[in-house]
Amino acid sequence: MQEQLDLWYKSRSGLYSAAPRTLGLAAAFDLLSKDRVSELVNNARRDIDKYAFQYANGNDALQQGIKAQHEIALDLYDQDQQAPIELNVEPGYSGPTPLAGRGGKNFTTVSAVLYSPLSRGRSHITSTNATAQPAVDPVYLSHPMDVAVLIGGVQATRKVLRAPPLNSIFVEEFEPGTDIGGSDKRVEAYIRNVAGGDNHEVGTMPMMPRSLGGVVDTELKVYGIYNVRIVDAGIIPMPISSHLAATIYMIGEKVRDPFC
C-alpha cells in the first residue's frame, strides 16, 4: 500500500491513479454569499418549529429531536463549518437522459450532491408481513435551505467546467444547458425535475434520547426491548458531510466494545 501511495505522490501513477472519479466538499460560503447564507439561516431559525412539526409526522418527541438537529445544523452554517455539497467529477455520462438522446457524444460529468439536508423523510410499515416493502417518502427539497444550497452547488459545477484546468477540455454544457442562462429559478426547476437520491440514507432508527424521538441508546440498544441492538446507518441521527462507509465501520466496532 505504501508503495502505491509513493507512486501516486511522485508521479500520479499506480493503483491510486485508477480511481474512476474525484470529489471534494464545498462549504456554504463557497457556494453562496455570506449575506445569502445568513438570510437563509435566519429564515430557517424563524421557521424551525414549523418544519420540525411538519417532519415529525405527529410524533411530539421526534418533533423536539428534529428541532434539536436543525439547531445544530444551522449553527454549523453560521460558523461556515457545514460542508453541505459534494462536487463529484467522473468520466462518462451520469444524468437523466437516455443513451438515444445523447447524440453519440463523449462526456465528463460534474455532479452536485446535497450531503446535509434539513428536509426529513419518513418510512412506515405497510403490512404485518415482515418481508413486505415499507412505504418510503423522502420528501426531497422540502426545506428552503436545501433548495438554495443545491442550486448553489449546481451553479458551481457549471463554473468549474469553465475554469482552469477543465476549461482546456470543455466543449459545451449538455445539462442543464446554456439555454437556462444563469437563472437560479430555472436551475431549481431543472433540479426538481431530475434530482434523485444518492444512497446515503440515515436516521430511520436514530441514536438520540427517547424524549427526542430516539430509537436506540448510546449502547445501540433499542429502547423498551431487551438486548436488541441496531448496527447500521439507521442509527446516525442526522446527515453527515461524508460518505458513510468509514462511519458504519466505526459503528460495527462499537458493538465489540466491552461495555456493549
The DSSP code for 209 is: -
Q: Where are the beta strands (DSSP E) in the chain?
A: 22-26, 85-91, 108-114, 122-124, 135-137
Tell me how far CA of residue 151 lies from CA of 31, 48, 169, in angstroms. 9, 21, 24
Amino acid at 44: A
How far is residue 246's CA from residue 219's CA, in Å, rounded to a whole number?
Answer: 19
Options 70, 124, 200, 243, the catalytic residue: 200
Amino acid at 173: E
Whose cell is 466543449? That residue is 171
How far is residue 1's CA from residue 30's CA, in Å, rounded to a whole number?
Answer: 34
**124 is known as an active-site residue:** no
- Residues serving a catalytic function are 200
